[in-house]
A = this chain, B = another copy of it.
Amino acid sequence: MVKTQAGSRFVGGADYAALNEHSVRDFLSPLPVAASLIGGEPSVWTVREVGDGNLNLVFIVKGTKGGVVVKQALPYVRMVGESWPLPLDRAYFEHEALKIQTLAAPNLVPKIFHFDTMQAAIVMELLEPHLILRKGLIKGLRYPKLAEDMAAFCAQTLFRTSDLGSPASEKRERQARFSHNITLSKITEDLVFTDPYRVSDMNRWTTPQLDKVAAAIRDDAPLKLAAQELKWMFLTRGEALLHGDLHTGSIMATIGDTRVIDPEFAVYGPMGFDLGAFMANLLLAYFAQAGHASKEDDRVAYRGWILDTLEAFWLGFETRFLALWQQGGAGDAFLPALFADDVGGVAMDAYRAMVMTQMFHDAVGFTGAKMTRRILGLAHVEDLESIVDPDQRAACEKRALRMARTLMVGRKAIPSIHALREMAEALVMEHIA
């Protein structure tokens, strides 16, 4: 029996049981998708458990017609074990967020077929031949539509759920709902904004190479202040419904298709948080490239492509978000009728540009926080972890940490995404020179 956290939706219960490669067949067989999408008798289906994330079970079930994915929440953190319990209601929040994202960005999330409250399980589209983006970036694959698709995903989901895109009545109700996603939000609050900056059993880093760097960061008052200021922003600024964990492991892609998965950390927060999460993980991929270079491919052109993507992402986001705002949303903030005359229009355009600049600075700060936590905190990224030589890995990590500090402490001094790109280039050039 699994209890859910107080105050949030009831998910799981006496009949909850972690699915396995056998029981998932019984779970699926009564559902319409069994006939329409999988096909054939359950006994002939192939089932693979592929969850490589930190928290859940993920089954790929295939039959004669095709297949589906079943994602089930476990009552504890998978990567740590039963000693770290985690409420099953995160499956509820993931499903709710997916429904909202489906409305805002229909072609950029997986299709949802079924949600089972008792088993805390979501049945969704099997994305094939999609690869987790992070793995593609490690392999050196290029995704020509990635920047544009992620710009569209962020602009459309953030705008639509904000007070620019939703009436206050709808937004307040939605914010109330997701405010109950307390335990997963707390993981973000601790692991992203606090633990990397203090002694914590859960931290780890490339040792001994980064020992001194990690110690210096624990003594770096301006950096800790920046981290806690970003945490306060995360806690207080309910600007839009965030995906909440928008790293490159939460994106599945082919050359021509991009899908965002796993929004179980969804909560209202500052828009810059999602933007920064994606930007941080592109930058981590960039700084890791030196560790993936080979005689055949020095990865120089490829790391340039990653920065092209970073730049195109931000510029695409800005353009799309501004366009949505100029078209006028259903929100209660900045009612278009108040600024319908020429003077109002000019004033409003100037104001929108200022808001985008502020959002950029927010995103830059969160980018730095998300980079730091992946090097000094609990959860690392395969981009860096897969670099076998610890000296080489540490060298990449040190460059990333230097950049991250500048982004966090000096975020308001960074004038543009191009300047940010040049900073990343200079850090790698410096090393080569």
Binding site for B on A (CB under 8 A): 6-7, 162-163, 168-169, 171-173, 175-177, 179-180, 182-183, 185-186, 189, 194, 197-198, 219, 221-222, 224-225, 228-229, 231-232, 235-239, 332-335, 337-339, 341, 343-344, 346-348, 351
In the complex, A186 Cα to B172 Cα: how many Å?
10
> Is B339 a contact of A224 with CB atoms below 8 Å?
yes
Per a CB cutoff under 8 Å, which of B162, B172, B224 touches A185? B172
Q: Which residues of B contact A333 (CB under 8 A)?
A: 228, 231-232, 235
> Is A232 a contact of B185 with CB atoms below 8 Å?
no
Q: A169-B186, A231-B332 given. 18 additional CB < 8 A pairs?
A: A7-B173, A7-B176, A168-B189, A171-B235, A173-B182, A176-B179, A176-B180, A179-B179, A198-B338, A221-B341, A224-B339, A224-B344, A225-B339, A225-B347, A228-B333, A228-B338, A236-B239, A237-B237
Q: Which residues of B contact A237 (CB under 8 A)?
A: 236-238
In the complex, A183 Cα to B168 Cα: how many Å?
10
Chain A: interface secondary structure?
helix
Per a CB cutoff under 8 Å, which of B7, B221, B229, B343 touches A344? B221
Q: Which residues of B contact A224 (CB under 8 A)?
A: 338-339, 344, 347
Q: Which residues of B contact A175 (CB under 8 A)?
A: 175-176, 179
Known: A7-B176, A222-B347. A194 touches B341 (CB 8 A): no
Q: Which residues of B contact A332 (CB under 8 A)?
A: 186, 189, 194, 231, 235
Expressed in whole angstroms, the minimum distance between the Cβ of A230 and any Cβ of chain B is: 10
> Can you name 29 A-B residue pairings with CB atoms under 8 Å?
A6-B173, A7-B173, A163-B232, A163-B235, A163-B236, A168-B186, A168-B189, A169-B182, A171-B235, A173-B180, A175-B175, A175-B179, A176-B180, A198-B335, A198-B338, A219-B341, A221-B341, A221-B343, A221-B346, A222-B347, A224-B339, A224-B344, A224-B347, A228-B338, A231-B332, A236-B237, A236-B238, A236-B239, A237-B238
